Amino acid sequence: MKQRRGPEENFRASVGEAGIIMTKFWKAAVAVGCTFAVAIGFTACDFGETKAKSAYQVAVDNGFKGTEADWLKSLHGADGGDGKDLDIKEVYAAAQDSGYEGTFFEFLKEYLSADIAEDNDTEIIAHNLMSVVSVYCGFEVTTATGGFMGSTTTTIKCSAGSGVIYELNKDAGNAYIITNYHVVYNAESNSKISESIYLYLYGGMNMFNTATGKDEGGSGIPATYVGGSMTYDIAVLRVQGSQVLRESAAEAAEIGDSESLSVGEKVFAIGNPEGEGISVTEGALSVESEYISLTAADEKSTIDFRVMRTDAAINSGNSGGALFDAQGKLIGITNAKRVDQLESDRTTIDSVDNIGYALPITQVKYAVENILDNNGGIKRAMFGISVQLTDSKAVLENGKAVIVEENSVADVSSGTIGYGVFKKGDVIKSITIGGETKQITRRYQMIDRMLNVRKGDTVLVTVERDGAEKALSFTFDKDKYFDAVAGRKLAAKEWECRPTEIAHSNFLFIFFSLFSLLYIFHQRGAFG
């Protein structure tokens, strides 16, 4: 891996003795007049069209008796008529003869992924590459330089990160892209949010010019900022009418379920580390859910993020990129890493390796849909309760270690929708939104799902009270029941592209300068 060539400080953490930085890549261009050209690629996850019938459904239609699990078990290690293990290609051929329309790879990945993951990593990753993009942003930053009557200088700064295709209409050349909020935001810039955003697909020519903050004739896809939240570190970008998209192999990522993950599962991180182009790292899921506190670079505000931890290499530029599971499903958006903390004399306190973080995709999905439904910001429904953990344990379920928590109401704030309905000590069992009921076995599940509530929605909560279950109903019909969390802007220390030094004198300075020149010319008789 190439050595860093510029500062990488975006965020610093207050977790343990190590710091955490947002993995936004910033570096300085060193040659005046040198255009930053990097070949990078874009890939999307293509799993084929949804078929009317799965292989299991076909088997049932042809007389198989039993559950899908029973059918899967029959495929693993069962003896064929000749006394040998069944050949999977023969099984696939038989499924085709019975009406299955999927490809061989779809058959393997959907039903035998646990057995074939090790042998098909390359093929799975190849599909995932088609859903990840490199993101480049240009910012104009105007600063006062002092001098006579106060002159100013405009500098072009740039950032490089990653993004994931969330939705795609290839025929129209339209797409929604997910990235981190801190990738497209610069606290020092004139506009704060970049007005010059370009995306590059896997294999596309990168001709992003750091001197101008623009794409200079390559395959850069212009994108606009739709909305986002510093609180969730999520931003949504939009592409419209792109011919590059129409002619590409790009596909939207297949969204997974981050709540069904277990520690130890294989994961792949795909992004644009160091702005050097799309690359892949592999690791394991180290922690499936935890909270980290990150302090903005201005050291004035602290943000708590719920994240997953992985030992897959996460580097600056990976911000906004993808974390996939072994089956190729998107389970997280990478956003941070832990780094060595230095003493004032720049000596290392401790060494930290292979601790990276990703925002869980289930939470991200709720946040993205909220952003799209609320004109670019997030409005989260609030019960007005505080919840305390009353029990926590690990259990084994289907060969996975699963943490199960018991959460109860600790307090209810007056004037909120929950006041007079919830009671202290209520154990929260389930929540129903839009007719979908989810059991609450972790504290974060209820918090995340409140992002799915819109004004006018009715939410049902089942609690255990005095040894019996009780159903509580809430209608969120008032604005005061929602909390706007799009909020504070992310401050970050960026790397500078080759600066364009343009001196802008103020009006008075120009006026007096011209007046002085005219006076001198007049005194010298220049005007006759």
Angle, CA of 367, 373 and 374, to the nearest 5° = 90
Name, in order, each residue with C-beta under 8 angstroms of 373's C-beta and a sequence gap of 6 or more: 454
Cβ-contact 219, 38 below 8 angstroms: no
Give the number of domains in the chain.
Answer: 2
Angle, CA of 325, 329 and 330, to the nearest 5° = 90
The pLDDT tens digits for 45-99 are: 222 334 446 666 777 777 776 666 566 656 654 444 444 455 677 777 877 887 8
Biggest CA pair distance of the chain: 114
Output 147 or 107, whichever has higher pLDDT. Answer: 107
- Residue at 72 is within a domain: no
Q: Is the pTM of this model over 0.75?
A: no
CATH of the domain at 140: 2.40.10.120
Residues 371 and 390 in one domain: no
For residue 496, pLDDT beyond 90: no
Q: Which of 165, 156, 167 is nearest to 135 (CA)?
A: 165
Cβ-contact 358, 307 below 8 angstroms: yes
- Residue at 501 is within a domain: yes
- Residue at 38 is within a domain: yes
- Mean pLDDT over each residue of the chain, to the nearest integer: 77
Query: What does the radius of gyration of the chain's CA atoms come to, in whole angstroms?
Result: 27
- Residue at 81 is within a domain: no
What are 138's two structure tokens? 């240009």
Residues 183 and 115 in one domain: yes
Highest mean pLDDT among 200-204, 237-241, 277-281: 237-241
Residues 373 and 432 in one domain: no
Q: Given this model, what pLDDT does residue 49 score? A: 38
The pLDDT tens digits for 29-45 are: 322 223 332 222 222 22
The pLDDT tens digits for 135-178 are: 999 999 998 876 666 688 889 999 999 999 999 999 999 999 99
Residues 163 and 246 in one domain: yes
For residue 306, pLDDT beyond 60: yes
CA dist 114 and 205 (Å) reads: 36
What is the C-alpha end-to-end distance of the chain, expressed in Å? 70
CA dist 271 and 317 (Å) reads: 7
Side chain identity at residue 245, one-letter code = L
Residues 343 and 457 in one domain: no
Percent of the chain's residues with pLDDT above 90: 48
Name, in order, each residue with C-beta under 8 angstroms of 204's C-beta and a sequence gap of 6 or more: 39, 40, 41, 42, 218, 219, 220, 244, 248
Residues 133 and 239 in one domain: yes
Give the containing element (helix H, strand E) for 19: strand 19-22
Cβ-contact 432, 442 below 8 angstroms: no
Residues 372 and 277 in one domain: yes
Residues 470 and 416 in one domain: yes
Q: What is the mean pLDDT of residues 388-404?
A: 88
- Residue at 86 is within a domain: no
- Residue at 355 is within a domain: yes
- Residue at 91 is within a domain: no
- Residue at 306 is within a domain: yes
CATH of the domain at 420: 2.30.42.10
| 3-class secondary-structure state, position 155 | strand
Domain that holds residue 341: 1-48+103-378+488-528
For residue 446, pLDDT beyond 60: yes
Pairing label, strands 385-397, 174-179: unpaired
Residues 350 and 468 in one domain: no
Residues 312 and 264 in one domain: yes
Residues 446 and 505 in one domain: no
Residues 236 and 117 in one domain: yes
| 3-class secondary-structure state, position 66 | coil
